[in-house]
Amino acid sequence: MQMYSSPSSPFARKARVTAHELGLDARITLINISLSPVNPHQELRAHNPLGKLPALITDTGETLYDSPVICEYLDALAGGGRIFPASGPARWTALRRQALADGLTDATVLVRYETAARPTTLQWQQWIEGQFLKVRTALDALETEDLGGAFDIGAISVACALGYLDFRFPEERWRETRPRLAAWHAALSERPSLASSRPS
């Protein structure tokens, strides 16, 4: 298999962490690219019309996107039920946490694009604050959750969302008001799948 990825993409990291956890990383050749919101990557677009990372080309030649689909595909390839709980309340909790963490990451990426790619005179402060509000309320919600337990797709998504926030916006200092979430993240950070995929 081949996967379009980037060392700084939080969603590509989700897929790489999932592959590592399932022992499938050696079967995936990474195609590392650099993306810009204003400069479409033609080669990636030929595989994923949305031009987004990650995109996985399976051994049968089909391209899968985006990260929730790729992660669930990898889980099925490894026998199923390891990263995505097969059924019951654990499944819905893991999927909801994935949605919450991916939404947090989406908002963070939008602010990154607005502040790093947009000319300063065109930047819209109220819109940036609106995105940061989503980030902060999602963090507050995660602080109330009991994240201990299985390292499933919910936990992987949250860990990658926090890693990206630290990478692009260290000045946010989210830990100061969310000690439980900070302790959970610190305890996980040396896990090989996360330690070997830190954004750079």
Which stretch, 5-13, 63-71, 78-86, 118-126, contacts ligand BEZ (CB under 6 A)?
Answer: 5-13
Interatomic CA distance for residues 66 and 52, integer angstroms: 8
Residue numbers 8-27 binding ligand BEZ by CB under 6 A:
8-9
69 binds ligand BEZ (CB under 6 A): no
Closest separation in Å from C-beta 14 to ligand BEZ: 11
Closest separation in Å from C-beta 167 to ligand BEZ: 7
67 binds ligand BEZ (CB under 6 A): no
Interatomic CA distance for residues 84 and 97, integer angstroms: 12
41 binds ligand BEZ (CB under 6 A): no
Which stretch, 6-14, 17-25, 38-46, 78-86, contacts ligand BEZ (CB under 6 A)?
Answer: 6-14
109 binds ligand BEZ (CB under 6 A): yes
Binding residues for ligand BEZ (CB under 6 A): 6, 8-9, 35, 53, 109, 112, 168
